[in-house]
Amino acid sequence: MQNKMIKKAPIGVFDSGYGGLTVLSELRKAMPDNDFIYLGDNARAPYGTRSFDVVYEYTLQAVKTLFDQGCHLVILACNTASAKALRTIQQNDLPKIAPEKRVLGVIRPCAEMIDEFSTTKHIGVLGTVGTVISESYVLEIEKLHPHIVVSQEACPMWVPLVEDNEFNTPGGEFFIRQSLESLLSKDSALDALILGCTHYPILIEQIRKFVPNTVRVIAQGEIVAKKLVDYLRRHPDMADRCSKNGIKMYYTTENPRSFEEKASLFLDEKVVAEQIQLS
Ligand code: DGL
């Protein structure tokens, strides 16, 4: 009865910039009928090198903006935001600002599934400096699978390589190889690598060149999509509040024309974006 009065709305997908489009792309494949609003804080990206307080403040602004757009469910499709802001938003802010709404991240779903990808139970995580320093992957995996040994590597050069379209050059490959060699040298038993940053799936061909083929390279978009489908199955009330007209909307805090151009690197189609301010 109560649900009939609630206006259905798209699922909000937030990222610091373009990278979350790799996650959105998988969400759309898994849930083609659902509507999505993508919000990229391109004007203030990257988040990877920013402090906890700043990432939290920016992420909360983005979540509130998506709530103002009507969204009942927001996915933080950004590892740095999931690592540094999600828990505080879920525990401190949501109960005050919108107790009936939900915000989910991308780290927990990967931590839940990682056991299925590794035989040796020695895995590696590649991420931004912020994600690695937060130890969010290590802590989540430890809670769920205490037998798994996790090694991490921060790859500060990788996001700029994607943003500047320099990853397919000898210089770009140098930095990709350098970070991978550093991670692989930390644990010779590694047999699975999580790409713990939204941009890294774009580098997957280059990454595969420098990783032995006994090591699985795991992009998180598909995992997040699978887990979201499962979440909505287990929460029919929330599923019911998500509109389903196959519509996608794109908002950016930067120039929408630049967003539209860059977005084609992440999505195989033209998008129309609008500028929005977060406050
Ligand atoms: N979206 C960020 C992440 O997944 C990468 C880009 C950034 O540093 O803002 O960690």
* For residues 222-230, average pLDDT: 98
Q: Is 128 in the pocket of ligand 1 (CB under 6 A)?
A: yes
Q: Pick the more confident residue, 26 or 266.
A: 26
Same domain? 226 vs 168? no
Same domain? 74 vs 135? no
Same domain? 83 vs 141? no
Return the ligand 1 atom nearest residue 131 CA. Answer: 10
Same domain? 114 vs 246? no
Same domain? 95 vs 232? yes
Q: For the sheet containing 122-127, what is the strand order?
A: 149-154, 122-127, 192-195, 216-219
Please give the C-alpha separations between residue 133 and each of 51, 155, 176, in angstroms, as whole numbers: 10, 12, 20
Residues 137-141: contacts with CB under 8 Å, at least 24 apart: 137/83, 137/107, 137/110, 137/111, 137/194, 137/196, 140/107, 140/108, 140/111, 141/111, 141/114
What is the CA 21 to chain-centroid distance, rounded?
A: 9
Active site residue 78: yes
Same domain? 228 vs 213? no
* For residues 217-228, average pLDDT: 97
Active site residue 71: no
Return the ligand 1 atom nearest residue 128 CA. Answer: 10
Q: What is the pLDDT of residues 51-86, one digit of tens each?
A: 999 999 999 999 999 999 999 999 999 999 999 999
Same domain? 100 vs 232? yes
Per annotation, catalytic residue among 71, 110, 155, 197: 197
Return the ligand 1 atom nearest residue 47 CA. Answer: 9
What pTM value is reported for the model?
Answer: 0.95
| Gyration radius of the chain's alpha carbons | 18
Q: Is 131 in the pocket of ligand 1 (CB under 6 A)?
A: yes
For ligand 1, atom 1, name the residue with the nearest CA: 78
How far is the centre of ligand 1, averaged over its atoms, from the C-alpha of 274 (Å)? 21
Q: Is 22 in the pocket of ligand 1 (CB under 6 A)?
A: no
Per annotation, catalytic residue among 71, 78, 110, 155: 78
Same domain? 71 vs 52? yes
| Full domain range(s) for residue 207 | 108-220
Q: What is the pLDDT of residues 148-160, one digit of tens each?
A: 999 999 999 999 9
Same domain? 159 vs 197? yes
Same domain? 72 vs 134? no
Q: What is the pLDDT of residues 188-212, one digit of tens each?
A: 999 999 999 999 999 999 999 999 9
Residues 6+ apart with CB under 8 A from 260: 250, 270, 271, 272, 273
Residue 3 reports pLDDT greater than 60: no
Residue 1 reports pLDDT greater than 50: no
How far is the centre of ligand 1, averaged over its atoms, from the C-alpha of 1 (Å)? 40
- Specify the CATH number for the domain of residue 265: 3.40.50.1860
Beta pairing, strands 11-15 & 73-76: parallel
How far is the centre of ligand 1, averaged over its atoms, from the C-alpha of 214 (Å)? 27
Q: Give residue 72's pLDDT.
A: 98
Return the ligand 1 atom nearest residue 49 CA. Answer: 8
Domain boundary among 198, 220, 242: 220
Q: Give residue 4's pLDDT.
A: 56
CA angle in degrees (0–180, nearest 5) for 66-267-153: 80
Backbone φ, ψ for residue 40 (5° rounding): -115, 125
For ligand 1, atom 8, name the residue with the nearest CA: 48
Domain boundary among 197, 220, 243: 220
The model's confidence at residue 264, banded by pLDDT at 50, 70 and 90, is confident
How many folded domains does the chain comprise?
A: 2
How far is the centre of ligand 1, averaged over its atoms, from the C-alpha of 232 (Å)? 26
Q: Which of 60-64, 128-132, 263-267 has the lowest mean pLDDT?
A: 263-267
- Encoded tokens for 106: 């991308």
* For residues 233-245, average pLDDT: 98
Q: What is the pLDDT of residues 16-65, one digit of tens each?
A: 999 999 999 999 999 999 999 999 999 999 999 999 999 999 999 999 99
Return the ligand 1 atom nearest residue 83 CA. Answer: 10
Domain boundary among 220, 235, 264: 220
Q: How many residues does the chain have?
A: 279
Q: What distance in Å separates the CA atoms of residue 205 and residue 266, rounded to the nearest whole number? A: 14
How far is the centre of ligand 1, averaged over its atoms, from the C-alpha of 128 (Å)? 7
Q: What distance in Å separates the CA atoms of residue 8 and residue 6, rounded to the nearest whole number? A: 6
Same domain? 170 vs 263? no
Same domain? 7 vs 140? no
